[in-house]
Structure 1
Amino acid sequence: MSQFSLKMDVADNQFFTGKTSEVFSRKESQKARAFHSQLAGYTPTPLHSLTALAGLLGVRNILVKDESKRFGLNAFKMLGGAYAIVRLLCEKYDVNLASTSFEKLKNSIAEKMTFATTTDGNHGRGVAWAAQQLGQNAIVYMPKGSAQERVEHIRSLGAVCEVTDMNYDDTVRLTMKNAAEKGWVIVQDTAWEGYTQIPTWIMQGYGTMADEAIEQIEQAGSGAPTHVFLQCGVGAMAAGVLGCLLDAYGPDKLHSVLVEPELANCLFRSGVAGEPVNVGGAMATIMAGLACGEPNPLGWPLLRNCAHQFISCEDKVAALGMRVLGNPLGDDPRIISGESGAVGAGVLAAILHHPQREKLMQKLKLDASSVVLLLSTEGDTDVKHYREVVWEGRHQAGEIK
């Protein structure tokens, strides 16, 4: 088998305590899932077993949760935005969450509202979808360099979508300013002083993925995961999912690894420092969904306490993951995974081909007994770029030796 070396910096978490969170827990994830399960078209997304790839790498199994199948939106993000909007409206109109639906809420709304958000594409699409279902307005801002296909997906749901000339974090600040001036409701998955409730609900909504995966693993009898690799932007998804998983498996038994692009590695740097560290600049990574430079302060304590390791990697790692998942080994199922969704698989594939493979395996505590859980959080939400990577060889792994 060929060898090549991709850049992956791995940092151990010196601040690990194992302290979990009542806010991001399996109980809250199950509450969110109970709501999602009432929506038309709901079904748990597939959990695939990549046994052939696992055998080649030298682990017991690799499990991949495929979020490209979520409500026909090709990504997981609607789980958070829709849940937060519903929680907001239930409080506003004194509606019982446990017995509500989009149609009931739609009939309760006395006057039209406008939901505003910043997105790389998937979160905004989820907010636009929920607003459309409820007969409300949505305005979505996207950072500089956003893919036109993602813009059109949002506009097709009836939302206003504008691309700025700023990075993600500065675009969030623009959204805040405009919303304050115009009376819009911000639906954002990061938090700041005075804005915590809605992002908390969004993060709890993401826990539906984890609760489904726990149930699917139990039903399959494949054994509890020993590792989970979670990709991070601001860390909202990672915290919402990890909190649920830790309740099921325990912080000392589930080896959790957070993965980021090196051009937007705020959580990697925060993990090394033991406190939040922001990253600025263009953050021009292909992993658009992870191009965020400021950790979510709500999720950070859980990630600091319970993540075992942080990885900062180059874009070629994500591209490799896209190719490996889309071109499976043996009888492994084919998974269409976008740039942000594939980076966890890319890390495993990069280890497989690395000249120091055994050293990396030992550092990440991967061995023949390991069961690794990955979340492919998006499909080919930018089809043009997906084809450029998978068919045309953009962001190649490097010279083969």
Structure 2
Amino acid sequence: MAHSKAVERYFPQGTAREAMEFHRQIPAFRMTPLKNLSRLAKFLGVGGIWVKDEAERLNLGSFKVLGGSFAIYRYIQSRLGTHEPLRFDDLMNPEIRTKLGNIVFAAATDGNHGRGVAWAAKTLGFESVIYVHKLTSEARIAAIQRNGAKVVVVDGTYDDAVRLINEDAQKNGWQVISDTAWEGYTEIPTWVMQGYTTLYAETQQQLAAQGAIKPTHIFMQAGVGSLAASAFGFYAGLFGADRPKMVVVEPDRAACLFRSMEIGDGKPHGFPGNLDTIMAGLACGDPNPIAWEVLADCADAFFSCPDYVAAKGMRVYGVPLSGDPMVVSGESGAVTLGALTFLMEQNEYAPLRERLGINENSYILLVNSERNTDPDEFRQVVWEGGHAVPGEYRKYGNPFQRG
């Protein structure tokens, strides 16, 4: 779609520049690498594959800190009643801290978002409380605690944790920094999505250094949909009708966006079930409604993938073809590469490849959104061959649904 009111609303001109200017002030902030998998691209029959590798973003293992930190920054601006840019050092100024008072930042998470919020709060000298669902691994919980947060385990799903922390925050006077929206709470999730655009502004600089203008296709993983919406919002805003084709990739056990598109009434819909997938970072049953607005306007396809698609992506990243760089990717980070390999290798998907225009002249952008944030699960998949591709699908089969 050439024109999107949702993109204009949530990603106005100048948003990415403001986010990047803030992030560049953070101590130890570095641009993450854009890796070129040229051998794999040739192997799969496409022109190129670029991977924006977020595994070492501020040594936190995920892109999520970009959104959480920018949302906290914008919240502080709002609380101080100013639209003027603040330097990172200004936020530590005793006079400003006195005006702000004591703030406890709170978030619900499957791991990475909570870690980013906890890190940003700790770095700025604030307290944080993070709620996680009962399937969150001990490794992810420990990583959040190392960043100074109090962690509460909720007996339920990620969506239950979102609901409960909102209730408890109202009782306790905490400030929720969420990457998903609900009625009456849209401004902060918008800031979170806007914070993610730094990732793509960096990508465009790196592509320009390689003599490229833009990717032809973007495959983006999705939980509530905020990261995917930020990618699509950034590129639709930058290139308009000439934007890349955009594909959303979800776990088949938490495919809320796929289901919303399948129902087809233009509204976001929840996904039933216990959301039990190895893609913990994508195990979300309810879409972010403001992200859904962008995705409904901009996405060209939605894929719903079983866990073995993500597991294959992890192994392909971890054991690259000779000459390609290795990428250490967690389950949620690797599902887009897994989906791309199945799409290109399975003959039955030739019509889908043709519909999306993916061929030897295509240049694909992927985002490794996390490193092995759960080391035990990573070893089980990569070392032990966990979640292997079923035999009947190894050559031809039906590894993911499409819509």
Residue aligning to 2:210: 220
**Helix, strand or coil: the match of 2:39?**
helix
Once the 2 structures are TM-superposed, how far is the Cα of residue 222 of structure 1 from its aligned partner? 3.2
Partner of 2:257: 267
2:97 is equivalent to residue 109 of structure 1: yes
1:121 alignment partner in structure 2:
111
Corresponding residue number in structure 1 for 2:371? 379
C-alpha distance in structure 1 between counterparts of 2:230 and 2:12, whole Å: 8
Counterpart CA distance in 2 for 1:177 and 1:232 is: 25
Partner of residue 248 from structure 2, selected from 251, 258, 275: 258
Give CA-to-partner distance per residue, 1:355-392, whole Å, 9 cap, x none: 42534422432111100001111111111111111111
Unmatched runs of 5 consecutive residues or more in structure 1: 1-15
SS in 1 for 2:58: coil
CA RMSD across the alignment = 1.6
**1:53 aligns to what?**
40
Amino acid at match of 1:348: L
Counterpart contact for 2:55–2:329, Cα < 8 Å: yes
- Residue identity opposite 1:43 in structure 2: R
Worse-matched range after superposition: 220-229 or 245-254: 245-254
TM-score of the superposed pair, with normalisation by structure 2: 0.92
Q: Report the CA distance shift for 1:91/1:138 in structure 2 as closer, same or farther (over 3 A).
A: same
Q: Pick the aligned partner of 2:78 from 88, 91, 97.
A: 91
Distance 1:184 1:104 in 2: 19
Partner residue, 1:391: 383
The match for 2:342 is 350
Q: Deviations over 1:194-225 (max 9, x none)?
A: 11111111110011111111111111113421
Contact 2:319 2:326 in 1 (8 A): yes
Is the partner of 1:333 in helix, strand or coil?
coil
TM-score normalised to structure 1 length: 0.92
**Quick one: distance in 2 between partners of 1:25 and 1:316?**
38
Distance 2:250 2:31 in 1: 26
Secondary structure of the 1:126 match is helix
Distance of aligned partners of 1:305 and 1:262 in 2 relative to their CA distance in 1, 3 Å threshold: same
1:83, 1:205 within 8 Å by CA — same for their partners in 2? Answer: yes
Tell me, yes or no, if structure 1 residue 100 matches structure 2 residue 90. Answer: no
| Equivalent position amino acid for 2:56 in 1 | K
Match in the other structure for 1:199: 189
1:40 match: secondary structure: coil
Cα deviation code 1:41-92 (max 9, x no counterpart): 1121111111111101111000100001211101000001111111111221
Aligned to 1:188: 178
The count of corresponding residues between Structure 1 and Structure 2 is 386
- For residues 123-148 of structure 1, the C-alpha deviation after alignment (integer angstroms, 9 at most, x for no partner) is 00001001101111100000121010
Task: For 2:113, give the aligned amino acid.
Answer: H
Aligned pairs for 1:2-401 within 5 A? 18-19=3-4, 21-22=7-8, 23-25=10-12, 27-94=14-81, 98-102=85-89, 104-105=91-92, 107=94, 108-110=96-98, 111-272=101-262, 273=264, 274-399=266-391, 400=394
- State whether residues 44 and 345 of structure 2, in contact with CA within 8 Å, keep that contact through their aligned partners in structure 1: no
Kept after mapping to 2: 8 A contact 1:285/1:291 = yes
Matched AA of 1:53 = L
Question: 1:330 Cα shift?
Answer: 2.0
CA 97–155 in structure 1, closer or farther in 2 if over 3 Å, else same: farther
Measure how far apart 1:93 and its partner are: 2.2
**What is the percent sequence identity of the aligned residues?**
43
CA distance in structure 2 between the partners assigned to 1:179 and 1:150 by the alignment:
22
Code of the residue aligned with 2:283 in structure 1: it is A
Contact 1:234 1:293 in 2 (8 A): yes
What residue in structure 2 maps to residue 5 of structure 1?
none
Would you say the 8 A contact 1:93–1:109 is kept in 2?
Answer: no
- Which one has a larger percent helix, Structure 1 or Structure 2? 2
The letter for the 1-side match of 2:4 is K
Q: Kindly indicate whether the alpha-carbon contact (under 8 Å) linking 1:260 and 1:268 is maintained by their aligned counterparts in 2.
A: yes
**1:25/1:67 CA distance change after superposition, 3 Å:** farther
- Kept in 1, the 8 Å contact 2:129–2:151? The answer is yes
CA offset at residue 106 of structure 1? 5.3
Cα distance in 2 for residues equivalent to 1:296 and 1:386: 28
Deviation, 1:97, is 5.0
The match for 2:400 is none
Partner of 2:332, secondary structure, is coil
Segments of 5+ residues of structure 2 without an aligned counterpart are 396-403
Kindly indicate whether the alpha-carbon contact (under 8 Å) linking 2:51 and 2:367 is maintained by their aligned counterparts in 1.
Answer: yes
Report if aligned partners of 1:51, 1:61 keep a CA contact under 8 Å in 2: yes
Distance in 1 of aligned mates of 2:301 and 2:339: 13
The answer to which structure, 1 or 2, has the higher relative contact order (CA under 8 A, 6+ apart) is 1
Question: How far off is 1:164 after superposition?
Answer: 1.3
> What's the offset of the Cα at 1:283?
0.4
8 Å CA contact 1:251–1:306 kept in 2: the answer is no
